């Protein structure tokens, strides 16, 4: 799994996230959603879906017209690898800047804050022997 994830570009990650949120979904649905956020041609979205399929991250739903795509791997399995790639590649291996960003973010929902508090409690607990 690591190799396909290591080579994911920004648009591929965006499209994969949209597939997770809307699956099974058509190329047209994903294209319309992507184009709400960035100026890309529909053919670019189609090629990206095909690349994700070739990498084994998307699959076509059998016997569906128009063609529908679904994710092969759950978001919960893929996101930790993408986050680790970000921390290692962009933040030089230290999650400190990410934690500081989250601490100062005004975009966090109550649900996000509760999840972060639970994570902090888990980190603060001594390891079980």
Q: Measure the CA–CA gap between 5 and 82, rounded to whole angstroms.
A: 7
Query: pLDDT of 4-48, one tens digit each?
Result: 666 788 899 999 999 999 999 999 999 999 999 999 999 999 999
Instruction: Give the global pTM.
Output: 0.73
- CA-CA distances (angstroms) from residue 58 to 87, 104, 129? 25, 35, 40
Q: What is the DSSP letter of 73?
A: S
Contact (Cβ atoms closer than 8 angstroms) between residue 5 and residue 51: no
Question: Is residue 129 over pLDDT 70?
Answer: no
Query: pLDDT of 85-121, one tens digit each?
Result: 888 888 999 989 988 888 888 888 999 889 888 988 8
Give the helix ranges, DSSP H, for the chain: 2-6, 10-22, 27-37, 42-54, 75-89, 96-104, 110-124
Query: pLDDT of 60-81, one tens digit each?
Result: 999 878 999 999 999 888 888 8
């Amino acid at each position: 799994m690591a190799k396909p994830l290591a080579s994911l570009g920004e648009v591929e990650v965006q499209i994969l996230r949209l597939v997770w949120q809307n699956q099974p979904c058509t190329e047209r649905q994903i294209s319309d959603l992507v184009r709400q956020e960035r100026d890309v041609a529909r053919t670019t979205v189609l090629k990206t879906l095909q690349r994700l399929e070739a990498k084994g991250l998307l699959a076509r739903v059998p016997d569906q017209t128009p063609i529908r795509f679904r994710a092969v791997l759950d978001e919960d399995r893929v996101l930790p690898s993408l986050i680790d790639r970000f921390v290692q590649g962009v933040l030089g291996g230290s999650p400190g800047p990410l934690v500081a960003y989250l601490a100062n973010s005004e975009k966090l929902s109550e649900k996000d804050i509760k999840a972060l508090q639970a994570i902090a409690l888990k980190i603060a607990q001594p390891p079980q022997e």
